[in-house]
Amino acid sequence: MRAFSPTGWKEKRNRRIWRCLVKTASSVRRLQTPEQLVSIQFAGAEVKVREGGNLAAELLAAGVSPFRETPVSGAPRNPYCMMGACFDCLVEIDGVARQACMTEVVAGMTISRHSAVRESDNA
């Protein structure tokens, strides 16, 4: 098939687009096998993660989802920016609300999903 271009007539080439779809439990993977795994509790379940790693990244690699739900609609949320700007990775660590992307993993952490309550609901 021929097509006209600003420089004249040219043969139109069929371009193949290669697409690959691989479904896994989590799209986040560890690059290497960690040497030191520790146990932490997330929402009552034991999770093995790398000590000293970024909490949000380690939980994503372990297949944990969602981290929290929005207070208005209840929509599930997972880490988005991974640099502390969006607050989508908010969790409760030992009873204190913290951003998982700004926290290092320590052995024995007890983490639960953040349960935010709207101010109008308290009145």
pTM for this entry: 0.68
Amino acid type, 35: E
Nearest to 56 by CA among 70, 46, 69, 66: 66
Rounded Cα–Cα distance for residues 43 and 89 (Å): 14
pLDDT tens digits, the chain, 123 residues: what are they?
Answer: 566 666 666 666 665 555 544 444 566 666 666 678 899 999 999 999 988 899 999 999 888 888 888 888 888 888 989 898 988 999 999 989 999 999 999 999 999 988 766 555 554
b or e along 45-84 (b: 16 or more beta carbons within 10 Å of the residue's beta carbon)? eebebbbebbbbbbbbbbebeebbeeeeeeeebbbeebee
Q: Which domains does the chain have, with CATH numbers?
A: 28-122 (3.10.20.440)
